[in-house]
Structures are given as C-alpha cells and as structure tokens.
Amino acid sequence: MKFITLRLLRNEKGSVTVLIALVITALLGMAALVLDLGLSYYESVELQNAADAAVLAAAWELPAKTTRPNKINDVKDKAIEYAQKNGLTITRSDVQLTQTIDNEYRGVAVTAQKTVNYSFARVLGINSGNVIKSSEAWVGGLVSAVGIVPLGFDYNDCLNATEGQTFIIKEGAHSGGGGWRGIVELDGDIAGGASDYEDWLANGYDGEVTEGDTLPVQNGNISGPTIDAVNDERVTQCTDTQCAGTCSKSDATTTYPAHQYCTHDHYIIGCPRVIVTPVIEVIDPTDSNSPVLVKGFAVFVLEETVVGGGGDNQIIATFVKTVVPGEAELTATIHDFGAYGVRLVH
Ligand SMILES: [Zn+2]
Ligand SMILES: [Zn+2]
C-alpha cells in the first residue's frame, strides 16, 4: 500500500511539473500579448499624434504653387520640424503634397512608421513589430474670422485677383463711387461710426464675422483715422527683421530682393501689416447705402503707408493667399478667396 502511494505521488509530481511549465508558458504568452500589444498601441498613438502635429503645422505653409520647389520644401521642412518636436524623425520623402487645385497644392500628408521592440513576445519568437500611421491636412476657404478690418473687398475683383497684385482697398473721395469708399460696419451697427472704424482698422474687430452675414456700410472718407490706423498702428509697427541679402523664401524661378520688413513675398502671420478683409457683394449696386453680403475673406499685406489726405486718401494693399486663424470649410472650389483655414482630414 505504501509502495503504491509513493508511486502515485511520484507520477503526480511529474504531471504537476509539466502542468506548471504549461501554465507558465501560457501566462508569459498572455503577458506578452498584454504588455507588447499595449506598447504597440501606445507607440501607435504617439506616432499618430506626431503625424497629426506635423501636417497641421505644415499646412500653414499652404497653398504652395506646384512650380515653386523651394516653397514645397518649406512645407516639407515644417512637417519635419514638428514631427521632430513630437519625437518622430521623418525625411522629405515621408511628406507628400496633395490636393492639387489650379496648379496649387492645398493638402499635405505624412506617413510615419516605427519599429516597436517587443519584450515578452520574444518568448514566442517575435522580436519586433511595425507600426504605420498616416495623417493629412488640407487648407480650405475661411468661412468665419475674428480680428478682421472694416473694409470690404469686392467679390468680382477677388475672383480675378492674383498673388502680388495691388488693390485700392479703400478709395479716396475723388475716386467716386457715390458716398461709399469701402468701409463696412462689422458689428452690424452704424452708430459706432468713425471711432469704430479707426479701432477696427488699427486693431482688428474683436467679434466674429461669418460668410452669409449682411452688414451695413459706413459712408464717407474718414481720412484722418485712416492715416492714423494704417500708418501708425500697422505699416510702421512691423518689427519682423526679414531677409538682409536676397529673400530666403526665393525659389528657383524668382529671386526676391532684400527686404527689412514684411512684404507680400515674405511675411509673418500676426504682423500688423497682414490684414484680413471680408469679401463682399453689394446687395443693391444702385444704392450707395446698400448693405453688403459677406461671401468670404481675403488677405492683404500693407506695404505702403497712406500718402494722401482728404480726397486722395486711399489704402493700397497687396493681395496674398495664406492660412490665417479662423474656421475653414473643405469644399475647395467655393469659398476660395485667398484666406484659408487648416483642417485635419485623416
Ligand atoms: Zn511684419
Ligand atoms: Zn524674405
């Protein structure tokens, strides 16, 4: 009896050892799955965040003409810079420009991959895995904006405007056009008059203006406030020291001259020289008091001070296409008036 019991125990001991070995292997396998899949998930989230940050930053350099390789490299380098800030190393070949409309790229995409070195999964003979993530951002027409100036830019002029073209965005009294010189009441109330106009022209209107808004106009020349706001608060307030030699933003086909301040070739968003105007359509062109319909937004660079007072008082500005703060819509063929916003698409 004793003999039999011992034999049974001995057998059971063997079985238990095998069982324990199996359980340990299963547990390690599960630990491998849990820990290494967790690690992969964490890495993929990090990678996605870095790719998103890269395209969102790079899109601020859009749109980019397909014929300007240096501009295209600016976009790519911005993506590389912001990927790096988020711990991801990419090269220009990982950045693609997308969404070609009218010979301009309006989208930027980044594909990023990372090798995740496994720890526990090595037990199962799997040493590493690949995580691949991509992200894309587009620029679309701005549909609402804050901080804009109270000057309406005519819809028909805007449709034909090209970058670098100069426009008179506020007429003088001698230029005719009835009593209206281009001034719009951004808060919808004409009571503020000249003081609202000067404040908004100098500092930007702090309320939001949205596509589809109907705004009353402010008749008159308002010469003195125009000079004060544009000359003292905008043109001479640019402190951006730009390119001392030829412009660093020049490309293979165009070389821009040296410029001490912001110009339409090279400017910094946020500079007082860069202004956003509503693109408007006069609802009743036969009525000089007609309200205007906001159809979108345009961006100008003020390169010149206002030189004329009284009847000759006018603001000359250069049309540019750029991303500015505000809400965008991604239907790229409409709302395209030169002011863009950035949206993440995937
Ligand atoms: Zn500036
Ligand atoms: Zn420059």
Question: Which tokens in the block code for residue 316?
Answer: 């000359």
Consecutive 10-residue averages of pLDDT for the chain (346 residues)? 52 74 82 81 92 96 89 94 95 95 92 85 81 94 94 93 93 75 92 92 96 93 93 93 73 71 89 96 90 96 90 93 88 74 90
243 Cα–ligand 2 center, Å: 4
- pLDDT value of residue 198: 96
Asked if 266 and 247 touch (Cβ cutoff 8 Å), the reply is yes
In sequence order, what are the beta bridge partners of 105?
A: 64, 100
17 Cα–ligand 2 center, Å: 76
Asked if 343 and 135 touch (Cβ cutoff 8 Å), the reply is no
- pLDDT value of residue 9: 52
Question: Which tokens in the block code for residue 286?
Answer: 């036969």
- Burial degree of 286 (CB within 10 A; 0-12, 13-18, 19+): exposed
CA distance 58 to 67: 18
69 Cα–ligand 2 center, Å: 16
- pLDDT value of residue 62: 93
**Which residue, chain included where needed, has tokens 């899109």?**
59
In sequence order, what are the beta bridge partners of 326?
A: none
Asked if 148 and 244 touch (Cβ cutoff 8 Å), the reply is no
240 Cα–ligand 1 center, Å: 4
- pLDDT value of residue 1: 47
- pLDDT value of residue 5: 52
Non-local (6+) Cβ contacts of 235 within 8 A are: 272, 273, 302, 303, 304, 305
Ligand nearest the Cα of residue 261 is 1
- pLDDT value of residue 329: 82
58 Cα–ligand 2 center, Å: 18
In sequence order, what are the beta bridge partners of 317?
A: 167
318 Cα–ligand 2 center, Å: 16
| Model confidence pLDDT, tens digit, residues 140-182 | 999 999 999 999 999 999 988 998 899 999 988 877 656 888 9
pTM for the structure as a whole: 0.83
- Per 3-state DSSP, the chain is made up of helix, strand and coil in percentages (nearest 5) of 35, 25, 35
Radius of gyration of the chain (CA): 31
CA distance 111 to 116: 16
Within 10 Å of residue 174's Cβ, how many Cβ atoms? 12
194 Cα–ligand 2 center, Å: 35
Ligand nearest the Cα of residue 268 is 1
Closest CA to 51 of 116, 95, 92, 93: 95
Ligand nearest the Cα of residue 240 is 1
Asked if 326 and 146 touch (Cβ cutoff 8 Å), the reply is yes
